Amino acid sequence: MAARSLRIGNASGFYGDRFSAFREMLEGGPLDVLTGDYLAELTLLILGRDRLKNPAGGYARTFLRQLEDTLGLAVEKKVRIVANAGGLNPAGLADDLRALTAKLGLSVRVAHVEGDDLVGRADELGFDQPLTANAYLGAWGIAACLDAGADIVVTGRVTDASLVVGPAASHFGWKRHDWDRLAGAMVAGHVLECGAQATGGNFAFFNELDVRRPGFPLAEVFEDGSSIITKHPDTGGSVTVDTVKAQLVYEIGGARYAGPDATARFDTIEVESQGTDRVRLWGTRGEPPPPDVKVCLNRLGGFRNEADFMLVGLDIEAKAALVRAQLDAALRPRPSEVVYTLARTEGPDAPSEEQASATLRVAVKDADAKAVGRPFSSAVVELALASYPGFFLPRLPGDASPFGVYTPAFVPAGKVPHIAVLPDGARVDVAPPDETLGLEGVATPSLPPPPPPGATKRVPLGRVALARSGDKGGDANVGVWVRTEEAWHWLVHTLTEDRLRALLPEARELTVHRHVLPNLRALNFVIERLLGEGVSSSTRFDPQAKALGEWLRSRHIDVPESLL
């Protein structure tokens, strides 16, 4: 491995990401470690349903196929691989990896990390019989496996950042109380975890970059915990201060970003460009982790179905009201939840039929599959010749599909096993942290003075601000940042919690928290329960809030002309 820095790349941001990324990263340039992130709350639900059908399953099979294609190359280049693809069955994945290495005739040492799966202790821990229950483990199990010579380490539910922190801690010999170093690596891991989102993917100012096929990112991590985010040469996309900030504010809460090994203070991160496709992160302060470990609980919440009605031309509101009255009368017994959403996308005197159309979406949910299955689909289809003029459906509704409900829980760290299973089969218990610190809120920093009064122009917020949004269970977050100090002085005084509610009417009655991150010239908003009971259960148009930031940027606001 490199003497001055550890080069850690990422080849997967979710289960289903670009299959060829492993080969691209291994062939694109030097690496010491290649990571893959496959897990999210929804992924664990999917794997839980897979495990019901096949107890030997429960892991990301894509990862196994990717390694069948590239493991020989990784061995040749001496690149170690760390991935959370083990899902609900890391031991099973490790066994299948050993079988794969034998098939390929390779000498590869495989280890895994387990202990996160708490579903068997649900009653003891008061979890109310979930389908899955997985604690977010930290980096020290990964580090122990690498210390023992593992070439591949697969885990269950560790934090996404642990895939970077573990290799760095092992390589540099960090100790459990090296809070600043650990926090710095957490920040690098947070930037890498979503793959191409750090190299221009899903970027607000995408027109400034060539993002037709962005490459995957890597971090050069240094002994002090600082890092440089970059990518292999001659790969698509770009690494800029803003693409990195876009990932820094993605799916976070306040200034304290908690993990099981340390808490990173996001209000201390310094970001600067170091040339083309190189962005340095340094100065991150760390604190002891909180005393409790977060647990992801998924349970089957019931069944759902939905249908879209296309409404074209005149009298859109009246047509939607007719459908609603007809369905309300036909749905007997009525599902426990029926949600109508009318999207007014039509325009007057439209030059095409599609531009003259609106959509009425009807979503139904119930504990009984029969209540939202064929009876609902039949009620929708039977309106075909007996409803509003111009009736048509873009697709026919089908059978009911199950949905899950995500709930976070918290368990004292000492009650969660954390076990490194080394290449020789030895099992090493990883001790919980011996020092912890609660997650009290950070005081709002001193704000810069507001800009002097002057002429303004009403324009979309996105003319001057960038944003990135996402989900955490039923909550949504949207991070907003600007590029200049002048714009920051305006943004921090203008975009308050009340102004956000006014710009996003869906949040008008919800609890909104604003967090100020001056070093990033950024504000992060957390909107509680915007997504109901979470992604799989949400009936919202954008159930993961991925486009919430773009909606916010499109809203009009009075902006000083000096910023335009």
DSSP 96-164: HHHHHHHHHT----EEEEE--B-GGGHHHHT--S-SEEEE-B-SHHHHHHHHTT-SEEEESSB-TTHHH
d(CA 84, CA 43): 12
Residue 73 forms beta bridges with which residues? Answer: none
Q: How far is Cα 494 from Cα 157, in angstroms, rounded to an integer?
A: 39
Q: What is the pLDDT along the chain (564 residues), one digit of tens a residue?
A: 345 899 999 999 999 999 999 999 999 999 999 999 999 988 999 999 999 999 999 999 999 999 999 999 999 999 999 999 999 999 999 999 999 999 999 999 999 999 999 999 999 999 989 999 999 999 999 999 999 999 999 999 999 999 999 999 999 999 999 999 999 999 999 999 999 999 999 999 999 999 999 999 999 999 999 999 999 999 999 999 999 999 999 999 999 999 999 999 999 999 999 999 999 999 999 999 999 999 999 999 999 999 999 999 999 999 999 999 999 999 999 999 999 999 999 999 999 999 999 999 999 999 999 999 999 999 999 999 999 999 999 999 999 999 999 999 999 999 999 999 999 999 999 999 999 999 987 888 889 999 999 999 999 999 999 999 999 889 999 999 999 999 999 999 999 999 999 999 999 999 999 999 999 999 999 999 999 988 788 889 999 999 999 999 999 999 999 999
Contact 112, 93 (CB under 8 A): yes
CB < 8 Å & 24+ apart, contacts of 23-29 = 23/69, 23/70, 23/73, 24/215, 24/216, 24/232, 24/235, 25/216, 25/218, 25/232, 26/70, 26/73, 26/74, 26/77, 26/79, 27/73, 28/215, 28/232, 28/233, 28/234, 28/235, 29/232, 29/233
Residues 6+ apart with CB under 8 A from 13: 37, 193, 194, 195, 196, 197
Q: By three-state DSSP, how is residue 532 classified?
A: coil
The encoded tokens of residue 335 equal 């599902």
Contacts 24+ apart (CB under 8 A), 356-359: 356/312, 356/313, 357/310, 357/311, 357/312, 358/310, 358/311, 358/312, 358/316, 358/320, 359/308, 359/309, 359/310, 359/311
Per-residue tokens: 338: 């029926």
Q: Is the Cβ–Cβ distance between 35 and 6 less than 8 Å?
A: no
The H or E element containing residue 211 is none
Three-state SS letters, 51-78: HHHCCCCCCCHHHHHHHHHHHHHHHHHC
Q: Give the contacts of 539 (CB within 8 A, at least 6 positions apart).
A: 304, 306, 337, 339, 341, 363, 365, 532
**Measured distance CA(557)–CA(564) in Å, rounded:** 13
Q: Which run of H or of E encompasses 335? A: none
**3-state secondary structure (DSSP) of residue 423:** coil
DSSP 245-295: HHHHTTT--SSEEE-SS-EEETTS-EEEE-STT-EEEE--EEEPPPSEEEE
Residue 1: its pLDDT value, please? 38
Interhelix angle 374-381/316-330, rounded to 10 degrees, is: 140
Rounded to whole angstroms, how far apart are CA atoms 434 and 535? 35
**Residue 439 CB partners (closer than 8 Å, separation 6+):** 256, 258, 263, 290
CATH topology of domain 299-401: Alpha-Beta Plaits (3.30.70)
How far, in Å, CA of 200 to CA of 549, rounded? 16
User: CA angle at residue 495 from 490 to 501, to 5 degrees?
Assistant: 165
Closest by Cα among 231, 162, 243, 241 to 197: 243
What ranges do the domains of the chain cover? 5-296+408-429, 299-401, 456-563
The answer to whether 221 and 6 are in contact (CB under 8 A) is yes
Q: What tokens appear for 135 in the block?
A: 């604690």
The token pair at 434 is 């011996």
The crossing angle, in degrees rounded to 10, of helices 21-28 and 61-77 is 10
Task: Give Cα 32 distance to the centre of its chain.
Answer: 25
Q: Which of 1, 36, 23 is nearest to 220 (CA)?
A: 1
154 residue type, one letter: V
Written as one string, the DSSP assignment of 283-322 is: --EEEPPPSEEEEEEEEEEEEEEEEEEEEESS-HHHHHHH
C-alpha closest to that of 29 among 73, 67, 63: 73
DSSP state of 441: P
Integer CA distances (angstroms), 125 to 26, 129, 290, 415, 481, in order: 43, 10, 19, 9, 40
Written as one string, the DSSP assignment of 347-390 is: -TT-SSTGGGEEEEEEEEEESSHHHHSHHHHHHHHTTTTSSSTT
Cα–Cα distance between 147 and 173 in angstroms, integer? 9
Taking only the tens place, the pLDDT of each residue in 243-254 is 999 999 999 999
Determine the length of the chain.
Answer: 564
Element spanning 21, H or E: helix 21-28
Q: How far apart are CA 359 and CA 561, in angstroms?
A: 37
